[in-house]
Structure 1
Amino acid sequence: MEKMKFMRALWKKYPRKEAEGFDFIGLQIGKLKDDINKVLIALDYDESLLEITREFKPDLIITHHPFIFGKRSKVLASDQLKNNLVHELEDNLNIPIVSLHTNFDAAEGGMNSSLANKLDLINVYRAKDFPMMRIGELPVSMDIDVFVKYFMERANVSYSSLINEGKNTIKKIGFICGGGAGYYSVAQNEGCDIYISGDCPHHVRRDIIRYKMNYLDVPHEIERLFVDVMKYAIAEIDSKIEVLAIDHEKEPIIYTNSQDN
Structure 2
Amino acid sequence: MECRQIIEKIEERYPRRYAMEWDNIGLQAGRTKKEVKRILIALDVDDATVEQAVSGNVDMLVTHHPLIFKPVSWINDEDFIGRRLLKLIQNDISYYAMHTNYDVLGMADLAGEMLQLKNPQVLEITNTEDSLEGIGRVADLEIPVTLEECAGWVKKVFSLPGVRVFGEPSQKITRIAIVPGSGKGFIGQALEKKADVLITGDIGHHEGIDANAQDMAVIDAGHYGIEHIFISDMEKFCSDNFPELEVQVMKIQHPFWIA
2:85 corresponding residue in structure 1: 86
Indicate whether 1:53 and 2:53 are aligned: yes
Aligned-pair CA distance for 1:137: 3.2
1:79 and 1:12 map into 2 onto residues whose CA distance is 37
- Greater strand proportion: 2
Q: How high is the sequence identity, in percent, across the aligned residues? A: 25
TM-score (norm 1): 0.87
Aligned-pair CA distance for 1:184: 1.2
Q: Deviations over 1:140-161 (max 9, x none)?
A: 2211111110111112221111
Aligned-pair CA distance for 1:79: 6.5
Indicate whether 1:118 and 2:114 are aligned: yes
TM-score (norm 2): 0.88
Secondary structure of the 1:157 match is coil
2:144 corresponding residue in structure 1: 141
Indicate whether 1:215 and 2:218 are aligned: yes
2:15 corresponding residue in structure 1: 15
Choose the corresponding residue for 1:156, options 149, 155, 159.
159
2:130 corresponding residue in structure 1: none
1:105 corresponding residue in structure 2: 103
Aligned length: 251
Choose the corresponding residue for 2:93, options 92, 95, 112.
95
Indicate whether 1:193 and 2:196 are aligned: yes
Secondary structure of the 1:177 match is strand
AA matched with 1:111: M
Aligned-pair CA distance for 1:250: 2.4
Aligned-pair CA distance for 1:139: 4.1
1:246 and 1:154 map into 2 onto residues whose CA distance is 19
- Call closer, same or farther: CA 1:225–1:84 in 2, change over 3 Å: same
Choose the corresponding residue for 2:205, options 195, 202, 206.
202
2:77 and 2:206 map into 1 onto residues whose CA distance is 29
- Call closer, same or farther: CA 1:8–1:88 in 2, change over 3 Å: same
The answer on whether the counterparts of 2:147 and 2:168 sit within 8 Å (CA) in structure 1 is no
What is the aligned-residue RMSD (CA, Å)? 2.2
- Call closer, same or farther: CA 1:119–1:88 in 2, change over 3 Å: same
2:123 corresponding residue in structure 1: 127
Aligned-pair CA distance for 1:55: 3.0
The answer on whether the counterparts of 1:126 and 1:132 sit within 8 Å (CA) in structure 2 is yes
Q: Which portions of structure 1, spanning 4 or more consecutive aligned residues, are displaced by more than 4 angstroms?
A: 76-79
Aligned-pair CA distance for 1:211: 1.7
The answer on whether the counterparts of 1:119 and 1:155 sit within 8 Å (CA) in structure 2 is no
